[in-house]
Chains A and B, each alone.
Chain A
Amino acid sequence: MKNGFFGKIFGTGKESTRDIAKKRLQFALIYDKLEVSDEILEALQKDIVDVISKYFEIDKSSLKLDIERQDDLSALVLNTPILSAKRKFG
Chain B
Amino acid sequence: MAGSEIKLSFISKQKRGADLKGKVIVITSGKGGVGKTTTTASLGAAIASLGKTVAVVDMDIGLRNLDVVMGLENRIVYNVVDLAHGRCQVKQAAIRDRRIEGLFLIPASQSDNKNALNTDDMARLTKKLREEFDYILIDCPAGIEQGFENSVTGADEAIVVCTPEVSAVRDADRIIGLLYARSITPKLIVNRIVPYMVVNGDMLSHKDVEDVLSVELIGLVEMDDRVIAATNTGSYIIDDKTSKAGQAYTRIAKRILGDLTVPIKEPIYDQKGLWGKITSKLGIKK
Contact = CB atoms under 8 A, between A and B. Distances in A.
A38 to B, nearest CB: 17
Interface residues of B, number: 21
* Majority DSSP secondary structure for residues of A touching B: helix
30 contacts: A1-B202, A3-B202, A4-B201, A4-B286, A5-B285, A8-B283, A8-B284, A16-B201, A17-B201, A18-B198, A18-B201, A18-B203, A18-B204, A19-B201, A21-B166, A21-B204, A21-B208, A22-B204, A22-B211, A22-B212, A24-B166, A25-B169, A25-B170, A25-B212, A28-B170, A29-B170, A29-B212, A32-B170, A32-B173, A32-B174
B78 to A, nearest CB: 39
A18 B166 contact: no
B238 to A, nearest CB: 30
Nearest to A9: B284
Contacts of A17: 201-202
Given A16-B202, A32-B170, A32-B173, 6 more contacts: A1-B202, A4-B286, A5-B279, A5-B284, A16-B201, A22-B212
Interface residues of A, number: 19
Interface of B: 166, 169-170, 173-174, 198-205, 208, 211-212, 279, 283-286
